[in-house]
Structure formats: C-alpha cells, structure tokens
Amino acid sequence: MLPWTLRSAAGRLASATRAAAAAPASVAARSSATATARPRADDDCEEPRPRAAVQEHVFWPDGQRLATLRRQHRTKASRDHSVLTRQLLDFQHDTVSEPDGDYDPLGQLKARFMDFKQRNYVENSTKYQNLAEQQTPEFMVVACADSRVCPTSILGLQPGDAFTVRNIANLVPPYEHGASETTAALEFAVNTLKVPNVLVVGHSRCGGIQALMSMKNKKDDSSSRSFIRDWVSLGKSARLSTEAAAGNLNFESQCRHCEKESINSSLLNLLTYPWIEERVKEGSLNLHAGYYNFIDCTFEKWTLVYRPGLEGGSKYAIKNRSTWS
C-alpha cells in the first residue's frame, strides 16, 4: 500500500487530469501554451505566472474565486493600514516644518499644551506619575457636549478628579436602552473605578433640549433618519412633564423648565441600573445634579435622595439645594 503522502499526491494528480480532460479545448490549449511559453528576459516586463497559478484561476469555482478576491481585498486594506502605522512609527519630528504665515488651527492648541506641560506637568511631576499608574476620581460627570459648557473649566476640575462623558443634552438613557458611550462610561466609573459621586450637569439655552421641545410641533418623518432626534427622544418624559407644568408659557420658558426637568429625569434613569441602585441604597454612591446658567454665570446644584418609605410615600426627594453665584 502506498504511504499516505504518496496516495494524497496521486489523488491530486488524478483530479487535475480529470479536470483538464473536462475543460473546453480552447482553455486546455491556452493552459498548454502558457505552460510551454518561453520565459521572458528580465527586461521583458513581468515574469510569467507559474503554471499552477494559471490552472487555479481557470478551474476554481465562482464562489471560491469570489472568496479569494475578498481575502485579497482584506489583505490590501491591512497593508494600507500597516503603511500608515509604519509612517507614524518612523515619523521624525524635525522632518516636517510648522506652517509659516498661514492660519494654523492647531497653533494655539500647541501653545496651550506647552504651557500646560510647563505649569502643571513639570511642576507636579509626582502627581502625574501617580496618575499614570492609576485613577481614583471623586466624581463621574455626565455633561453636555455644548462648547460653552466645559465642566473642567467651570468647576475647576483637575486631571484625576472626574471621569467624564459628554453627549447631546447631557442625557442618561434608562438601563433598557442598551449600550451607548454613556452607559459604558457609567458602568466603568461605578463598577470599576468605584466613584462615590455621579453628577449630571445641564445648562441654559441647550440646543438638544430645544430640539426635544420642538419635536411636538413637527410631524414625524420616518423616511429621514436623524441621529439627533433619535437621541433626544430619550428625554420624552421630561418634555411631557414640562408641557403639563409649563405648557402655558412661551417656548423659551418651556425650554428653560425642561432643561432642569431632564436633569431630574436622568437622575431617575440612573436608578434603573441595578448596580447603581444597589450602591445608592447601601450609601456608597450619591447622585447629584447641577445646572449651569452661562448667561449670568450661576450654578445651581441639588442631590437626589432615594430611599423607600420616605415621608409622603415617595421613594425620591431633593436635598441640599443651593445656588452658587
């Protein structure tokens, strides 16, 4: 009996012979001509493809050929990414000159970074080396993406003080909403970093809240996709509460009311997360709200109390409300 390797080789030879016999004569002739073609000299363009490669191209089934083309495309994309990565790794800082004379949108950022490095990093190197090893923030902050509302600036937060996520209208989706950048940040901050405080910061003249309050006046067009509309619709309960409490006021006043109503809605949504509710009940996590009015530069803050059996039969109450002005 033939050894396994020889039997395998013999089988492959027999298969190739049967495939060649079944192929059209024109194809067989082209294959034969390719196999016997005279190799070109080095200066005759490219070298001829090996015979095996030609036969594979001729006799592959269409599905297998398509799969091969897809693999080749993925390989090319991978090579393209590798080229970019290699360029970054090989980049020499002194080989590219800074723009001279033309407006450079990153110029001021560079100056600010260098100032930060000198005034903060260098002068507090021990602190930043400790931060490089671990972070133990006091706060998890959910704030709006509005460029006028930077919690780091208005609250004087320093690196390591707060784990922060910013989104349109500073909304916290309910637990059943599923994965998002906000819910992922909450999970990491509460379960991994063990932050003792979550702070939701809203603000005046919020464009996201204006979009939310405008939805009631616009016919829903399901044929057009709006990521903003889909996102702010999470605050629908705050809009309905606003309409019930302030529906007789003008649009601007309703928005102002809803800006605070949506903060409370987000606080209640936080308690739909089992691991947040558990920590709040045991007293290891506090839920806070803040409202920044950049028109007159005031900051209003309050804390949510969650405890079954509160006076009046409710589980929720507000405490420590004050305005910083």
SS (H, E, C) 87-134: HHHHCCHHHCCCCCCCCCCCHHHHHHHHHHHHHHHHCCHHHHHHHHHC
DSSP 167-189: EGGG----GGG---HHHHHHHII
Please say whether the beta carbons of 291 and 263 come within 8 A. yes
144 annotated ligand-binding residue? yes
Distance between alpha carbon 167 and the CA centroid of its chain, in Å? 11
45 annotated to a ligand binding site:
no
Neighbours of 17 (CB within 10 A): 10
Edge-first strand order for the sheet with 197-203 is 162-167, 139-144, 197-203, 286-293, 298-306, 316-324
Question: Is residue 255 a known part of a binding site?
Answer: no
161 annotated binding-site participant: no
User: Own/partner pairs for 56-63, CB < 8 Å, 24+ apart?
Assistant: 58/23, 58/27, 58/30, 58/31, 59/19, 59/23
Strand duo 286-293 + 197-203: pairing? parallel
Q: Which amino acid is residue 67, in one-letter code?
A: A
Q: Cα–Cα distances in Å, from 35 out to 14, 38, 226, 249?
A: 19, 9, 59, 87
The first and second tokens of residue 278, run together, are 């558990």
Binding site, annotated residues for Zn(2+): 144, 146, 203, 206
Binding site, annotated residues: 144, 146, 203, 206
